[in-house]
Copies of this chain bind each other. A is one copy, B any other.
């Protein structure tokens, strides 16, 4: 019966404290009963398009062929377009808002081969309000793709070059230091940086890591447990990026760092053989309260 793809990978900022995700899946079930929905995550912070975009980019190389439904949509109901973006000549189709959320993942998947504006309302649900496009527009469109509807039937063709680009922060070199940013703090408190190992390698075996109110020396480690107790290590993480980590301890809490924070890296001045960490302040200073 179904002639389209049979997997919908679903990411949103809906959380799971209420029934929103369940309703979206119910809508899909009604239109494409054979499709399997894989939840990538619904824990993206409310309206945090950047975090959603990064999570989607990390996941995309593993995601099953089919439909990728992604909804972080603070501008829901406004003139921001609802779109479907095909990659790999049809290997996968992203469905979501044209607000930058999809851009990095689309690029990592080789770029868009087709895109449509989802303005063909016969493939949407009628709804009392304009505030839940995940349920009323994106879910039915994703399901109709699984049920065999062609992308072209879902709306007007648009030029993929006109889709809103993503805004991944780039690292840079400044006064001899590598200036980077914390992309993501994982559940274990590891700090993923926007740095390839190749960028960092020339700085040597031991680096000085600085952020507001914090200086530490860090060496490279292949695993978390290879980092000395209480020390900070540089690990090539599961996505091939450099992460700041500690062994069985959350580096984010220890260093007082969070997503979006700037950090710098430079060769350590404590001598190549020294493994003692230099710590000026382990936590972000709090504003002083004077009576």
Task: Assess the B18–A22 pair: CB atoms within 8 A.
Answer: no
- Is A124 located at the chain interface by the 8 A CB criterion? no
- Give CA–CA (A189, B48) in the complex, Å: 14
Task: Assess the A18–B41 pair: CB atoms within 8 A.
Answer: yes
Residues A13-35 near B (CB distance < 8 A): 13-23, 25-27, 29-30, 33
- Is A194 located at the chain interface by the 8 A CB criterion? no
- Is A88 located at the chain interface by the 8 A CB criterion? no
Q: Which of B74, B136, B238 contacts A127 (CB 8 A)?
A: B238
- Is A58 located at the chain interface by the 8 A CB criterion? yes
Question: Count of chain A residues with Cβ under 8 Å from any Cβ of B?
Answer: 68
Task: Assess the B78–A223 pair: CB atoms within 8 A.
Answer: yes
Task: Assess the B63–A186 pair: CB atoms within 8 A.
Answer: no
Task: Assess the A55–B18 pair: CB atoms within 8 A.
Answer: yes
Min CB gap A266→B, angstroms: 23
Task: Assess the A129–B238 pair: CB atoms within 8 A.
Answer: yes
Task: Assess the B238–A131 pair: CB atoms within 8 A.
Answer: yes
Task: Assess the B59–A128 pair: CB atoms within 8 A.
Answer: no
Q: Which of B29, B43, B132 contacts A16 (CB 8 A)?
A: B43
A sample of 14 inter-chain contacts (CB < 8 A) reads A9-B26, A19-B58, A21-B41, A26-B62, A26-B63, A47-B188, A75-B223, A128-B239, A129-B222, A129-B237, A131-B224, A131-B238, A135-B238, A136-B238
